[in-house]
Amino acid sequence: MTELLIHSQNKIRKISPNILRDTVYIVKTTGKEEFNAYYTNQEAIVIPKKELKFLTFEKRKKDVEETLIHEYLHIYTRYNIKKREELYSLIGFNKISPFLIPPEIEKIRITNPDNYELDYVIKLPNEKNVMTNYAMLLTSKYPKYDGTKGFIGAFSTLFGYLDEQIYSVNEKGEVSNNKVEIPKSVYEKTGKISSYNYGPDEIIAEAFKAMVTTDWENNKKYSKRDKEILTQIKEVIK
């Protein structure tokens, strides 16, 4: 693990040494608190213990290193607010105030430690082609959490609970109770660098991971918009 940390930091320094802080803590947990997912808390990267297995395999090393790079970016945006604003605006997200989540949505909202700033919206055309603010909120499909006991429970939690839709926000900053499917027009702003579209910080972190770990400038899988985003992010963080 130490080798992977050093290697990932060296790769990041080649892109921008500004991303790294003087001290970053690594915390190992059971993983049960966040569905066996990596996440950050202040200056710490929290890693579920299952992710520390089989690190002698190159594929596992690659996966862990790429995830570490993604998590470093979350810490950077947490402590560099001005840069965070610039990065979010590159993909169309801007902060609004007030930002009011109704109790019905708050009750089913799924927290994400790396997407702690919820009051950012993206302006997109609605079904009537009227430009409207939308918020990317992680919510459950169901009003009640049934736990992860057994195979069915674990499977449902990972693939059945998460509702990948967005919520409109009116001029008063009030989030609507009605969710809508993410329109294709969103990708004209956010690109399609990754399918992990769970809020602006996740989108930027995935873009940063691609920047550090791939030859993105010559990679045909990235669209013109993707490369524009990556070029702009590189400029902001240099």
Report pLDDT digits (tens) over 7-26. 999 999 999 999 999 999 99
Q: Report H helices in 18-176.
A: 58-79, 81-90, 103-106, 150-159
Asked if pLDDT for residue 158 goes beyond 60, the answer is: no
Query: For residue 79, how far is the Cα from the chain centroid?
Result: 16
When mean pLDDT is compared across 120-124, 137-141, 185-189, 201-205, the lowest value belongs to 137-141
Res 148: pLDDT: 58
Are residues 205 and 179 part of one domain? no
Are residues 9 and 71 part of one domain? yes
Are residues 79 and 110 part of one domain? no
Average pLDDT (86-112) is: 95
Are residues 153 and 108 part of one domain? yes
Are residues 73 and 7 part of one domain? yes
185: left (phi > 0), else alpha (psi -120 to 50), else beta? alpha
Contact between 236 and 77 (Cβ < 8 Å): no
Are residues 81 and 20 part of one domain? yes
Are residues 65 and 123 part of one domain? no
Give, rounded to a whole angstrom, the gap between the first and last alpha carbons of the chain: 27
Are residues 224 and 137 part of one domain? no
Are residues 137 and 114 part of one domain? yes
Classify strands 165-169 and 175-181 as parallel, antiparallel or unpaired.
antiparallel
Measure the CA–CA gap between 124 and 188, rounded to whole angstroms.
10
Side-chain-side CA neighbours of residue 70 (13 Å): 22
State phi, psi for 47 to the nearest 5 degrees.
-120, 125
Side-chain-side CA neighbours of residue 43 (13 Å): 9
When mean pLDDT is compared across 23-32, 97-106, 134-143, the lowest value belongs to 134-143
Measure the CA–CA gap between 68 and 84, rounded to whole angstroms.
19
Q: Tokens standing for 168? A: 């409109």
Q: What domain range is 220 assigned to?
A: 2-86+191-237
Are residues 197 and 179 part of one domain? no
Are residues 178 and 141 part of one domain? yes
Q: How many domains does the chain have?
A: 2
The burial class, CB within 10 Å (0-12 / 13-18 / 19+), for 110 is middle
- The four Cα atoms 105, 108, 113, 115 give a dihedral, to 10 degrees, of -40
pTM above 0.75, yes or no: yes
Are residues 140 and 67 part of one domain? no
Q: Tell me: the pLDDT tens digits for 135-157?
A: 999 888 877 766 555 565 566 66
CATH (domain of 13): 3.30.2010
What does the chain come to in residues?
A: 238
